[in-house]
Amino acid sequence: MCVNGGQADEVEGTWSASLEWLVRRLAPRFPALRFAEVRYRVKSWRRLDWCVEDALAAIEAAAGRRTLLLGFSMGGAVASQAAAHPSVDGMLALAPWLPDRLPLDALQGKRLRVLHGSLDRGLPGIPGVSPASSRAGFERARGVGAEGEYTLIPGALHGIALRAHRGRPLPLPRARAWAGLAAEELARFQAST
């Protein structure tokens, strides 16, 4: 289940260029897995509760026996809460926003793999998540009983891709590294069925 990022402004949910680019590369490599997307009513961290409700509804609609949540940026916060759903086995978090105030108890006993770009930073007007912040969230999740690993991708930014002027996702530097590491986690998930 792919869980998009968000922003401060309360705007209609849209598909992220980063996740779109990534899924276009991963889905053909894993034909036995079904990829689904969470469509937020409003993609804003100011409406995080709504985003979590939307994620839980998407998990229910997908009706899978086992679910791996793939959360990008704010989608990491959303996925960490939706992980309480009984079908969720684990979470692959890409540059996840896991603020200190966010409880991570739903990850107890689940696998958490975090991938983060070493050059990720919030800039004026441009969201970002520092690697130190996601690392602190990862350690808090381990403290409540999650198991997994944290991987820093040298030279990678916050996003994996940007939307080009014609609507297609355009990969950013190190996009292939993100895809390769995500594929490793999907292969692990698939093998554990």
Q: Is residue 33 assigned to a domain?
A: yes
Taking alpha carbons only, the member of 119, 113, 65 closest to residue 91 is 113
pLDDT tens by residue, 148-169: 999 999 999 998 998 888 889 9
Question: 141 in a domain, yes or no?
Answer: yes
Would residue 6 count as lying in a domain? Answer: yes
Has residue 193 been placed in a domain?
Answer: no
Q: Is the whole-model pTM more than 0.85?
A: yes
Whether 78 is covered by a domain: the verdict is yes
Would you say residue 191 lies in a domain? no
CA-wise closest residue to 150 among 79, 68, 191, 91? 91
Average pLDDT, the chain: 91
For residue 99, what are the domain limits?
2-186
27 against 39, higher pLDDT: 27
Looking at the predicted structure, is the pLDDT value of residue 147 above 70? yes
3-state secondary structure of 169: strand
With beta carbons less than 8 A apart as the criterion, state whether 115 and 149 touch.
no
| Assigned domain for 127 exists | yes
Number of domains in the chain: 1
How large is the greatest C-alpha to C-alpha distance in the chain, in angstroms? 45
Residues in the chain: 193
Grouping H, G, I as helix, E, B as strand and the rest as coil, residue 135 is: helix
Give a yes or no: residue 85 inside a domain. yes
CATH number, domain with residue 159: 3.40.50.1820
C-alpha span between 146 and 4 (Å, rounded) = 22
